[in-house]
C-alpha cells in the first residue's frame, strides 16, 4: 500500500508509521521530499512524500487500517478489505494507493523485517538494475550516465512521461544525489567482473563484446527476458529464450531492444495503475493530484525554454 503525506518539520518517518497498523514486512519512502532534487521539485518544504508498505496479509492489514484510518480511503472502503485487496492485487502494478493524506504534518528504507528472502530480493533488484543499465550504455561512460539509466528504468514507456511528468524528472533526481547513488551501487560495481570501475575518476568501462552482452542478458529478470524474446522471435521459428538472447547479444542495437522490452513491461502497468488510481483515490483527489503533476510539468517546460 502507498500513501502520500505532506512533510512537516521535526517529524520522523517512524512517527508517521505509528499512525498505521504495525504488521509491515517492509516500508520505504521516496519522492522529492526525501532527497533534494533539481528543477520544480526542489522545494522540499512543501514536497509530497510517497510511502510504500508491503505486508504479508493484505486483507488483515486493510481491515485494521480501515478501522484506524477510514477517511484515507475512497468510496471503495464501503466494499470492505477483501474487495480492496482484490483490486490491489489484480489490477495495475499490485499497489493500492491512498493519495494526498495529511499525516503529521526520503528511496530510503525505514522499516524492514529480518527476512532473508526479502533481503535477497532487494539485493537482486539492485544488481538487475545495474545489468540492465549496462546493456543500454556504450563501452565507456560516467557514473552520472549510469545512474541516469538506472533511475530511468521505471519510467521507460511510462505514459505519464508524455503527459503529467516533468521531462527532466530523471536528471533532476540524479544530479543532486550522485553520492547517494554511489553509496547504493558502489559495492556492486566494485565486485562486478564485467566492469572496470574507476571510482576516483567517476568513470566506468563495460565489456560490450557479444559474449559479454550475452552474459548480461542471461542474468536479466525472467520477465524482461521473456519480453525481449517476444519482441525478437520471428513467427514460425519457435526458438527458446536463450537462442533469442544469443541473437540479441550480437545485434548492434542490443540496447534499443532491451529498452523496448522494458517499455513493454512498464507501459501497460502504468496505464492500468493510473486508471485504478481514479477509483482508489477517488475522483476529487485524482483531479487535484493530476493538476499538481501538470503544474510541475509546466514549470519544468518553462525552465527549459527560458
Angle at 117 between CA 147 and CA 27, to 5 degrees: 60
For 271, the enclosing helix (H) or strand (E) is helix 254-281
- Contact predicate 262/223, CB 8 Å: no
- The DSSP secondary-structure symbol of 39 reads G
Burial (0-12, 13-18, 19+ Cβ within 10 Å), 129: buried
Contact 205, 140 (CB under 8 A): yes
Nearest to 127 by CA among 193, 42, 55: 193
Q: How many Cβ atoms sit within 10 Å of the Cβ of residue 62? A: 23
**126 has a pLDDT exceeding 90:** yes
Tens digits of residue pLDDT in 87-97: 888 887 788 88
- Please say if the pLDDT value at position 186 is more than 50: yes
Asked whether the CA dihedral 75, 34, 16, 85 is positive or negative, the reply is positive
Judge whether residue 40 has pLDDT over 70. Answer: no
Q: What is the mean pLDDT of residues 28-50?
A: 67
What pLDDT shows up at residue 201? 93
Tell me the torsion sign for CA atoms 19, 20, 23, 26: negative
Q: Round to whole Å and give the CA distance between 274 and 269.
A: 8
pLDDT above 90 (res 303): no
- Helix or strand (DSSP H, E) at 99: strand 97-101
Tell whether the model's pLDDT for residue 64 goes beyond 50: yes
Arithmetic mean of pLDDT, 133-138:
96
How far out from the chain centre does Cα 70 lie?
28
First-to-last C-alpha distance (Å) of the chain: 39
Flag whether pLDDT at 101 surpasses 60: yes
Partners of residue 206 on adjacent β-strands = 195
* pTM of structure: 0.71
The three cell numbers of residue 253 are: 542495437
Q: Where are the domains of the chain?
A: 2-112, 116-268
- Which pLDDT score, from 0 to 100, does residue 282 have? 62
The three cell numbers locating residue 181:
547513488
CA distances from 298 to 280, 301, 304 (A): 26, 5, 10
Which range, 151-155, 223-227, 263-267, is most confident?
223-227
pLDDT at 172: 86
Q: Taking 60 as the threshold, does the pLDDT of residue 65 lie above it?
A: yes
* Three-state SS at 37: coil
Q: Which of 270, 284, 275, 273 is nearest to 74 (CA)?
A: 284
Q: How far apart are CA 151 and CA 202, in angstroms?
A: 17
For CA atoms 120, 150, 87, 79, the dihedral sign is positive
Cell of 166: 516533468
Q: What phi and psi values does residue 194 have, to the nearest 5 degrees?
A: -90, -5
Rounded-to-integer distance, Cα 108 and Cα 282, Å: 28
* Percent with pLDDT over 90 in the chain: 44
Whole-number mean pLDDT of the chain? 81
Amino acid at each position: 500500500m502507498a500513501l502520500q503525506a505532506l512533510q512537516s518539520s521535526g517529524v520522523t518517518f517512524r512517527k508517521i508509521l505509528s499512525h498505521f497498523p504495525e504488521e509491515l514486512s517492509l516500508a520505504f519512502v521516496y519522492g522529492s521530499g526525501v532527497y533534494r532534487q533539481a528543477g520544480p521539485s526542489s522545494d522540499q518544504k512543501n514536497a509530497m512524500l510517497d510511502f510504500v508498505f508491503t505486508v504479508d496479509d493484505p486483507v488483515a492489514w486493510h481491515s485494521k487500517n480501515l478501522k484506524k484510518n477510514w477517511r484515507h480511503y475512497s468510496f471503495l472502503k464501503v466494499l470492505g478489505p477483501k474487495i480492496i485487496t482484490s483490486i490491489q492485487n489484480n489490477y495495475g502494478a499490485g499497489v493500492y494507493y491512498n493519495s494526498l493524506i495529511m499525516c503529521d504534518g526520503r528511496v530510503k528504507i525505514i522499516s524492514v523485517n529480518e527476512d532473508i528472502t526479502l533481503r535477497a530480493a532487494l539485493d537482486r533488484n539492485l544488481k538487475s538494475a545495474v545489468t540492465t543499465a549496462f546493456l543500454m550504455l556504450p563501452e565507456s561512460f560516467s557514473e552520472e550516465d549510469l545512474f541516469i539509466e538506472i533511475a530511468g528504468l521505471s519510467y521507460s514507456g511510462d505514459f505519464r512521461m508524455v503527459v503529467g511528468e516533468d521531462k527532466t524528472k530523471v536528471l533532476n533526481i540524479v544530479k543532486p544525489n550522485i553520492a547517494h547513488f554511489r553509496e547504493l551501487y558502489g559495492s556492486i560495481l566494485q565486485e562486478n567482473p564485467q566492469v572496470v570501475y574507476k571510482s576516483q575518476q567517476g568513470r566506468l568501462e563495460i565489456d560490450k563484446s557479444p559474449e559479454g552482452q550475452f552474459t548480461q542478458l542471461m542474468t536479466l529478470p525472467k520477465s524482461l527476458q521473456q519480453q525481449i524474446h517476444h519482441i525478437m522471435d520471428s513467427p514460425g521459428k519457435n526458438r527458446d529464450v536463450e537462442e533469442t538472447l544469443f541473437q540479441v547479444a550480437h545485434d548492434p542495437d542490443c540496447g534499443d531492444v532491451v529498452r523496448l522490452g522494458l517499455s513493454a513491461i512498464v507501459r501497460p502497468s502504468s496505464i492500468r495503475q493510473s486508471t485504478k488510481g481514479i477509483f482508489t483515490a477517488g475522483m476529487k483527489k485524482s483531479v487535484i493530484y493530476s493538476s499538481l503533476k501538470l503544474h510541475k510539468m509546466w514549470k519544468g517546460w518553462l525552465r527549459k525554454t527560458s
